[in-house]
Structure 1
């Protein structure tokens, strides 16, 4: 039997039969949600650029619009753009991830002189597990004598590493969501879980993501030499 309510209200998540009603060649009226009494999906009248901006801002309504109420077309490009932006920040040593690495490994160069540096009571880079990775994250100074091809190659390596980190983030979230099924009534959507559970899942997933990028990047650089 076909689903008679294939859409979702972007405000409350309630199922809806239609997003709008057609009253004539040029007359459309947006459907109201039976549960929250708001417009089922306001984004059908919005420019795609506005939708993408709201997606970047992690708008729950925009996420529901993309997932439930439209067919995926060009929104996959947003993922590539976001990965490139994150990659560029790391590649330029201008991100929170770099601050964490520089603090953990004790990296202090001309490239990091203007960055925030936190002091730790212990030197984590003395650990055998982290020593080789820390050495690989110590970049050469960028001067006019550097080969531009090497820096371009390093950007592609960092892009691949960032992508693999995001893949691990998604897999970790999915795995942890399956583990918490017995203790939560909301089993499908992360932000419907209790706040503590959501925070723990996101924290663990981000740790896995950053750890993956931290260890994969030096490994790829060693093979690319």
Structure 2
């Protein structure tokens, strides 16, 4: 994409130089795409609420509009808020990742109010090298919970661990996509499909908004909520989030859906592996 073609058609992703042309103070004409012959970006005339609805419905057109045809400056605020939300869910032991850790490590209870453990019909054998990390996820009760500093310190530890896992996830996605991109570039000619770090963070923040659907369980869930209900809710949120990430990174890297799915599976595995091992390490380090 050249400097003159800084926008993209929301329908086919073709670079273009302008979204509309003005013919007077109150007259403008939307630009048509030279490739698909459709309107380059219909969303510039839409209400933001309509754009948000299309984003929830996983519209690739709306995703292209946000990533390429708008000045998405506040992405870093959204990024921080969503990292804090994920940190709080794991720290509170109320997330799909926490359920997996509690189940695999056979953690029945912890100091948090929602330590969900699923009874599996089979016995899982935890590798010997993981046993210390499993013990690191078990937190002793703080008595009357009067020492708020210990709670606050553990939240910061979990934030560092979660943030590290997210950065590993983003880096893994970018590296794997660039490797695959090099083959795609050779097949397409000498086109430039490089993705900047800023746009990558924008894409991640946009896709990670899907985790907000975990809020109902975090806000209204309590000790009376059955573990199975929590598991089903978080599984549905994870599946929805995974599909959103697939769409966004397919739009960002212009890659086939199958390749994007494989990259996301690998990147999520590395992310959770990092978080699982780093949290006990940090807790032991600051103790």
TM-score, reference length from structure 1: 0.81
Cross-structure match for 1:222:
284
Which residue does 2:270 correspond to in 1? 208
* SS at 2:23 equivalent: strand
Deviates most, 39-48 or 9-18: 39-48
Structure 1 runs (4+) greater than 4 angstroms displaced: 45-59, 110-115, 141-144, 181-190
Following superposition, the deviation at residue 69 of structure 1 comes to 2.4
Counting matched residue pairs gives 222
RMSD: 3.1
Q: Distance in 2 between matches of 1:44 and 1:143?
A: 56
Going by fraction, where is helix more abundant, 1 or 2?
2
| Superposed counterparts of 1:59-74, under 5 Å | 59-74=59-74
Q: CA–CA distance in 1 between the matches of 2:128 and 2:178? A: 34
* Cα distance in 2 between the residues matched to 1:157 and 1:50: 39
> Could you say which residue in structure 2 is the equivalent of 1:121?
123
Q: Does structure 1 residue 194 correspond to structure 2 residue 196? A: no
Higher RCO structure (Cα 8 Å, ≥6 apart): 2
Q: How many Å separate the matches in 2 of 1:142 and 1:12? A: 56
Displacement of 1:222: 1.7
Deviations 1:119-166 (A, max 9, x none): 543331xx3321111111113347743422222222222122111111
Deviations 1:163-216 (A, max 9, x none): 111111111112222333465457768524333322221111000001111111
Q: Distance in 2 between matches of 1:55 and 1:156?
A: 32
Instruction: Describe the shift of the 1:16–1:179 C-alpha distance in structure 2 as closer, same or farther (beyond 3 A).
Output: closer
